Amino acid sequence: MVTNQSVNDWVKEMAEMTNPDEIVWIDGSEKQLDLIKQIALETGEMLELNQEKLPGCLYYRTNPKDVARDEKRTVICTSRREDAGPTNNWVSPDEMYAKMRKLFKDSMKGRTMYAIPFSMGVVGTEFAKIGIELTDSIYVVLSMAIMTRVGQEVIEQLNHGADFTKCLHSKAQINEQEKYIAHFPEDNTIWSINSAYGGNVLLGKKCLALRIGSYLGKQEGWMAEHMLILKIENEAGESKYVCGAFPSACGKTNLAMLTPPDYFKKKGYKISTVGDDIAWLRIGKDGRLYAVNPENGFFGVAPGTNQKSNPNALQTTKKGTIFTNVARNLDDNTVWWEKLDKNPPENGEDWLGNPWNGKTSSEKGAHPNSRFTAPAENCPTIADEFFTGEGVPISAIIFGGRRAKAEPLVYEAKDWNHGVFIGSAMASETTAAANGQVGVVRHDPMAMLPFCGYNMAEYFQHWIDMGKKMTNPPRIFHVNWFRTDENDEFLWPGFGDNLRVILWMLHRCKGTVGAVETPLGYEPKPEDIDVEELNITPETLEKLLRVDKDAWKHEIQDIENFYSKFEQLPKELTDSLEELKQGIDKL
């Protein structure tokens, strides 16, 4: 099937190390995937859900100590430590290969090695990148078939000599003490062992699409970003596209699948989803920035997803979806999670497999980071542009995090370099998407802190360099949907009403609305945000847009502390920080 000798040599070398009983090449056909699915059901690795209510849907449960991305066990292996930078865990390639070869030795003995040729991006387009993942996990096979493009077209690209990222994964013993997710950017290689959780083992996702992708982007003159891509069509039928970077579980998927309020629907506004999590961006011949979503599916957080917060995501999960670590309703063999609805199962199983009565138990039924892996084509709002893979022109880039107090609802950067500063200074309150304490404010530049495959100071410089090459760069904005009042109640309604803020941004891009200059950037005049049919007072809007001097003095100290990690930052960023400091002092 695969005639490329370098591919076959590599697979042979990995097989000699891991010692599987057999090697099965994945061709992406429905027939083959159905056979593999049957094996998972027979062994109990996965459970089949109610096929009338959830056709093609499966249930998967991970080890209780293997439930999220493990950033402490995620390493970047470059020849020189400084190339990984201070925000990554660095190990020398020689040391890491030696350590992992011992762990991989015979790790697939008694198991099948599945070879998955996959493409990030539509096969054959300028944006696409090819990878091969070798794994002993059927969960990985079935999930990669959802999340990436797997099939004969990819094999043909390989047989024509296409370069590929070498991805090796083994569940091994799922030993948390010997779990590693290792990236070798200089070798275009990813090795993952002793985990079975999607974020650590679906190697096309964060590993290739962002960590290796960001490194390739720097080398080749493009950008790999942790961003959604949203299409907004106005009442005149004009379409604009925006990208948005938000740390995990900060509303990114909700925004990507936004449902317009009825007020805007009646006017003829339409929202479509080009991407929910990752964007690859290249400069077009016209000097604009173009983006594609390299993925083929959604790997979303289940808790909090419901008919109000994200009806489109909920609809996307109704067929062909793999649910991980959610609760199960034993009466009808369906799934449930916190905030899905107000009717938890009385006869259920929690995410650990224990009997669970959601009406009486104080324990959560689903893990806070439980997931759904769903085909993008299921999404009611999926854009036609998603399927072409050619890229859409970006008018605006939005940065945002979950902040209770300091950050206003929205402000615009003064120019591209100032926007890079805003992105570099981004901070958010942590969620359950990564191991560690929840609710702690941490800096997460461009929402890329866990995903940048090289020194972040160089990453910031790459952003600035990309700006110099664009004749018509996107405008950059910062948002905070999560600002609270003195009673810790959210001031902004969020969800579909976030469109009101995005429309102000697009008016700014067209030059049809003014703004108020503040030390942070340009803020809207309250009357320029359309709050028609929204129960929000002018006083609340004023609170949402207020720049708090004391809060920002503390914020500036935090930025300075974060910046102190880097030996050499671009001057454009330190100049912007100094300008911010002076502006806040004058308030």
Residue 277 labeled ligand binder: yes
Structure tokens at 40: 């998972």
Residue 284 labeled ligand binder: no
DSSP conformational letter for 21: S
Which backbone phi and psi does 173 adopt, to 5 degrees?
Answer: -105, 5
Structure tokens at 409: 């609802």
List 77, 250, 379, 452, catalytic entry:
250
Residue 248 labeled ligand binder: yes
Nearest to 174, CA basis, from 125, 143, 139, 208: 139
Residue 198 labeled ligand binder: yes
Q: Write the single-letter amino acid at 256.
A: A
Residue 34 labeled ligand binder: no
Nearest to 530, CA basis, from 229, 234, 311: 234
Residue 252 labeled ligand binder: yes
Residue 254 labeled ligand binder: yes
Contact 84, 175 (CB under 8 A): no
Residue 206 labeled ligand binder: yes
- Distance of alpha carbon 442 from alpha carbon 428, whole angstroms: 6
Structure tokens at 522: 């340009």
- Distance of alpha carbon 475 from alpha carbon 278, whole angstroms: 19
Residue 496 labeled ligand binder: yes
Residue 371 labeled ligand binder: yes
Residue 576 labeled ligand binder: no
Nearest to 464, CA basis, from 422, 424, 416: 416
3-class DSSP state of 182: strand
Residue 29 labeled ligand binder: no
Nearest to 28, CA basis, from 155, 124, 125: 155
Rg of the Cα atoms in the chain: 23
Residue 549 labeled ligand binder: no
Residue 423 labeled ligand binder: no
Residue 250 labeled ligand binder: yes
> Residue 122 half-sphere exposure, CB side, CA atoms within 13 Å?
14
Residue 170 labeled ligand binder: no
Which backbone phi and psi does 404 adopt, to 5 degrees?
Answer: -80, -35
Angle at 421 between CA 416 and CA 422, to 5 degrees: 95
- Distance of alpha carbon 422 from alpha carbon 477, whole angstroms: 8
Residue 320 labeled ligand binder: no
Nearest to 321, CA basis, from 127, 115, 49: 49
3-class DSSP state of 217: helix
DSSP conformational letter for 506: H
Output the CA–CA distances (angstroms, integers) from residue 306 to 203, 370, 438, in the order listed. Answer: 28, 14, 22
Dihedral of the alpha carbons of 235, 236, 242, 248, in degrees to the nearest 10: 20
Instruction: Establish whether 379 is a catalytic residue.
Output: no
Residue 69 labeled ligand binder: yes
Q: Which residues are annotated as a binding site for Mn(2+)?
A: 206, 226, 277
Known catalytic residues? 250
Q: Which residues are annotated as a binding site?
A: 69, 197-199, 206, 226, 248-254, 277, 369-371, 402, 495-498
Q: Which residues are annotated as a binding site for GTP?
A: 249-254, 371, 402, 495-498
